[in-house]
């Protein structure tokens, strides 16, 4: 099986932890290929990954098969729907959305049975 090319959106505390775990090889068959955050200094932590300042730019690129969304919770719905619509597998940090109706919209956007969509809970 090939490695999954993973992009992490949001390189704050949780995004950094996830990115470091992938970079350190702790996740089998997963390669950190992109990081996305509006703060350039956060992106510099992962020099082997392609750096993006905007989600739109990351999703227009061919750097990723999957994205892990680790942004503030109020942006999970919008980014998750965008990523699903571009064919990416999506893993979203908790909470899945800020409001029940947003969570329902995000879940409804997952229409392709070949795409993986999940929420992370610890």
Cβ atoms of residues 65 and 116 within 8 Å: no
Q: What is the pLDDT of residue 61?
A: 98
Cβ atoms of residues 44 and 16 within 8 Å: no
Cβ atoms of residues 54 and 31 within 8 Å: no
Q: Which domain holds residue 88?
A: 4-120
Tally of structural domains, the chain: 1
CATH code for position 68: 3.40.50.720
Q: What is the pLDDT along the chain (122 residues), one digit of tens a residue?
A: 589 999 999 999 999 999 999 999 999 999 999 999 999 999 999 999 999 999 999 999 999 999 999 999 999 999 999 999 999 999 999 999 999 999 999 999 999 999 999 998 86
Q: What is the pLDDT of residue 122?
A: 65
């Amino acid at each position: 099986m090939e490695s999954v090319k993973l992009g992490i959106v949001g390189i704050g505390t949780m995004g950094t932890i996830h990115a470091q775990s992938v970079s350190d090889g702790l996740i089998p068959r997963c390669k950190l290929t992109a990081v996305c955050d509006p703060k350039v200094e956060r992106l510099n932590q992962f020099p082997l990954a392609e750096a993006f300042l905007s989600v739109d730019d990351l999703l227009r690129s061919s750097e990723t098969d999957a994205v892990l969304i680790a942004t503030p919770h109020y942006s999970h719905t919008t980014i998750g729907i965008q990523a699903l619509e571009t064919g990416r597998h999506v893993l979203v940090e908790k909470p899945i959305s800020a409001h029940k109706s947003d969570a329902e919209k995000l879940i409804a956007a997952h229409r392709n049975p070949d795409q993986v969509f999940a929420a992370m809970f610890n």
